[in-house]
DNA sequence: CTGAAAGCGCTTACAG
DNA sequence: CTGAAAGCGCTTACAG
């Protein structure tokens, strides 16, 4: 069943069938009806492969994500899908598991997809530019070794976000605040640490390197890092964890050792993944607007594919502190040292 | 840059270039080298759109999932990707959010994808058969209104799985076990309830309808259902929650009301999502082999696309009880009634 | 408003 | 082993 069969059946040319199907206005009403009737009766479905070749477009975009099981990534993905489906695009999703996946530029060049949104790109700006030069790509992430000026991006201000967490803890009277982060060589990891240090400084607190613990972003890593912390003599009264997963893993380890949250140690997470609200105690955390990050990145990619100009190359969305029950206010006398 | 440019540059025909590129053996070594050199120097990438049309195949499959943010779904997805990528397929992922998405058969018929794996299909067997008749589709789910004999499927034995949970609780001495489930009209929901009832019967316990609570599969629903339960006079000593999300939501509500897990109430979840291990207390749960479900479903779809015969139309994988710390053994005297 | 024909960039059966 | 040519099923500029 192809277009020529429909044409024959309707007594018109394939050109006319094609016009009717694409909604071309230059077709007589009567002709249009004949064609539609033929399509209906023959149960005809146009061949997308042929259409793609003729139009030289696939109506597909690529989304590259380290892993979908991560709640932040799946939310960003969701945001992307929200907007591109609306515009008739399908999304091909690739999980990299941090393997070096160099197939992305190829999938654009070979026309499998029209463009790509990356949720991670752990390479130098130079390497990135070389690989993606001139290709329609948008970064929806802070999983970057360094800022990539040449490519549009969406992210949050991680420094500011981390500062908010520390402000909050410091304002509750905490003077000894540990940091749990990732040693991944990414902007996100570095900036959250930077924000942590800034936050301490802004409250006149000193950075104590023995209170900084770095591993991966995972639950497991949070668990291990907290155990490491517990084996040191000096316990903090509060923890800022650079991801909710780290926070949850840490709480698990602390609880196992009889450390109570928030009575003994307060903790603030980062991301506001769904489960955070349902932990006991419910986790105070920094919310990333993940869905909007995805939506904005998709908007930008579609704008590029449409050969329009971007309003902004680098968009920063706002983070927000979500206060729940994992932190407590220190009593004045408990404070290890005087506030400045 | 197209194949004819490469051909011209290498001094051969496009047919030869095509043969070299597809790895056809019937090409002289010298010719092959000339072509490869030309490809290299011209930085040529074959146009997939044209190739797809010629081969009449897209090398793409569709995965339809209610939502990727769900940990079970994302694991199944991951399993699918494991095997199809290996075979050179890309996957197009569609989230339905339980909206009725009738575009799936169309995407197969119009050749966008070669086949589909569905992680949910909430319709009657009749409606399903009508929509998907003859199309290469595999079901990797229990999110079905009813068993669909005509379509290959992968799932677990939910009845058996739920029985395991109840056995475990009953063997710990629990006599009053509540059920938290989903009122979704799916096999998964019904079978887990059925397994719960079976389990009770097998231990000589009566089913008490006032201990059965049904909502959605979500965290939020677990929270609400547990609150409902708390407002009844009769509290169980144990809960079997038909998903980890329900369990986590329930624990949240119970903790808020000062009910301790497992001292006051024991709880068993279902799914073994990643976070379960890191809750306090760590959640005892039934593990679904989600990744394998995805892998097996993908195997089956590829087998069908390869026009091979399936070994089995309906595959059931094994579930497993993962014992952690959310349940306690009842002391003899605490038991409300004598064991039979 | 409509049709004949060229074109999209590959693949492959056929002939040599 | 290699090439000329037809074919995949659409789209669209051009002519009328």
For B223-233, what is each residue's pLDDT tens digit? 999 999 999 87
CB contact under 8 A, B69 and A90: no
pLDDT for position A335: 59
Which residue carries 């059946």 as its tokens? Answer: A9
Q: Coil, strand or helix: which one is A261?
A: coil
pLDDT for position B340: 39
Laid out side by side, the sheet with B177-182 consists of B212-215, B177-182, B238-241, B266-271, B284-287, B320-322
pLDDT for position B336: 54
Fold of A158-287+322-334: Rossmann fold (3.40.50)
Yes or no: domain B158-288+322-334 corresponds to CATH 3.20.20.20:
no
Nearest to A326 by CA among A184, A153, A189, A169: A169
Q: Name residues whose C-beta falls within 8 Å of residue A267's C-beta, 6 or more positions apart in sequence.
A: A238, A239, A240, A241, A247, A250, A251, A261, A283, A284, A326, A327
Pair of tokens at residue B297: 């479903």
DSSP-assigned beta bridge partners for residue B72: none
Domain coordinates in residue numbering, chain A:
3-46, 60-156+290-318, 158-287+322-334
Per-residue pLDDT averaged across B267-296, rounded? 97
A positions 154-173 inside 8 Å of B (CB): none
Q: Name residues whose C-beta falls within 8 Å of residue A246's C-beta, 6 or more positions apart in sequence.
A: A180, A181, A182, A215, A217, A218, A219, A221, A222, A225, A269, A270
DSSP-assigned beta bridge partners for residue B268: B240, B284
Task: Please tell me the distance from the alpha carbon of residue A305 to that of residue B236, in angstroms, as a whole number.
Answer: 59
Which residues of chain A make contact with B278, given a CB cutoff of 8 A?
219, 222-223, 248-249, 251-252
CATH superfamily ID and name for A3-46: lambda repressor-like DNA-binding domains (1.10.260.40)
CATH superfamily ID and name for B60-156+290-318: Response regulator (3.40.50.2300)
pLDDT for position B24: 87
Residue A16: nearest nucleotide (C-alpha to C1'): C2
pLDDT for position B84: 96
pLDDT for position A340: 39
Q: Give yes or no on whether A60-156+290-318 and A158-287+322-334 have one common fold.
A: yes
Nucleotides of chain D touched by protein CB (<7 A): 1-5, 7-13
Task: Please tell me the distance from the alpha carbon of residue B120 to that of residue B141, in angstroms, as a whole number.
Answer: 6
pTM given for the model: 0.94
pLDDT for position A333: 62
pLDDT for position B103: 86
Of all protein residues, which has its CA closest to the C1' atom of C9? B50
Chain segment A217-253, per-residue pLDDT in tens: 999 999 999 999 999 878 999 999 999 999 999 999 9
Q: Within its chain, how far is the Cα of B24 from the centroid?
A: 39
Per-residue pLDDT averaged across B64-68, rounded? 93
Task: Please tell me the distance from the alpha carbon of residue B140 to that of residue B118, in angstroms, as a whole number.
Answer: 6
pLDDT for position B338: 46
In angstroms, the separation between the Cα of residue B78 and the nearest Cα of chain A is 8
Which residues of chain B make contact with A252, given a CB cutoff of 8 A?
277-280, 282
Rounded average pLDDT per 10-residue block, chain A, 340 residues: 94 95 91 95 96 96 94 95 94 87 89 97 93 96 94 97 98 97 96 98 96 96 97 91 98 96 97 96 97 98 95 97 97 58
The reply to whether B277 touches chain A by the CB within 8 Å rule is yes
Which residues of chain A make contact with B60, given a CB cutoff of 8 A?
92
> CA at A49, C1' at D8: how many angstroms apart?
9
Task: Please tell me the distance from the alpha carbon of residue A249 to that of residue A244, in angstroms, as a whole number.
Answer: 8
Among B56, B74, B256, the residue with its CB nearest the CB of A74 is: B74
pLDDT for position B335: 59
Helix extents (H) in A22-177 = 29-42, 48-55, 71-86, 103-109, 125-132, 158-171
B positions 192-251 inside 8 Å of A (CB): 219, 222-223, 248-249, 251
Residue from B43, B44, B47, B48 to probe the interface with A (highest A Cβ count within 10 Å): B48
In angstroms, the separation between the Cα of residue B170 and the nearest Cα of chain A is 26
> CA at A69, C1' at C8: how many angstroms apart?
40
End-to-end CA gap in chain A: 81
pLDDT for position B289: 96
CB contact under 8 A, B52 and A56: no
The reply to whether A46 touches chain B by the CB within 8 Å rule is yes
Q: Which residues 319 to 338 of B reach strand D, CB within 7 A?
A: none
């Amino acid at each position: 069943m192809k277009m020529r069969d429909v044409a024959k059946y309707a007594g018109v040319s394939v050109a006319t069938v094609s016009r009717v199907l694409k909604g071309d206005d230059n077709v007589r009403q009567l002709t249009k009806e004949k064609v539609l009737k033929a399509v209906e009766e023959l149960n005809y479905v146009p061949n997308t492969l042929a259409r793609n070749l003729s139009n030289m477009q696939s109506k597909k975009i690529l989304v590259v994500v380290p892993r979908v099981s991560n709640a932040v990534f799946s939310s960003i993905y969701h945001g992307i899908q929200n907007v591109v489906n609306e515009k008739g695009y399908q999304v091909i999703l690739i999980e990299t598991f941090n393997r070096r996946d160099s197939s992305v530029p190829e999938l654009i060049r070979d026309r499998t997809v029209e463009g790509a949104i990356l949720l991670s790109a752990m390479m130098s700006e130079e390497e990135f530019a070389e690989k993606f030069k001139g290709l329609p790509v948008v970064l929806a992430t802070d999983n970057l070794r360094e800022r990539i000026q040449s490519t549009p991006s969406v992210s949050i201000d991680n420094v500011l976000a981390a500062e908010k967490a520390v402000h909050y803890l410091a304002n509750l009277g905490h003077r000894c605040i540990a940091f749990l982060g990732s040693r991944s060589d990414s902007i996100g990891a570095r900036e959250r640490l930077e924000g942590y240090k800034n936050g301490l400084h802004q409250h006149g607190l000193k950075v104590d390197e023995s209170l900084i613990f770095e591993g991966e972003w995972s639950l497991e890593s949070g668990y291990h890092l907290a155990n490491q912390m517990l084996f040191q003599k000096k316990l903090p009264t509060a923890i800022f964890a650079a991801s909710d997963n780290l926070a949850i893993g840490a709480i698990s380890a602390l609880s196992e050792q009889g450390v109570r949250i928030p009575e003994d140690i307060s903790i603030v997470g980062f991301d506001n993944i769904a489960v955070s609200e349902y932990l006991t105690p419910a986790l105070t955390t920094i919310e990333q607007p993940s869905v909007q990050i995805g939506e904005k990145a998709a908007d930008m990619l579609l704008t590029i594919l449409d050969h329009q100009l971007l309003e902004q190359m680098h968009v920063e969305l706002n983070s927000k502190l979500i206060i729940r029950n994992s932190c407590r206010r220190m009593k004045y006398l408990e404070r290890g040292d005087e506030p400045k």
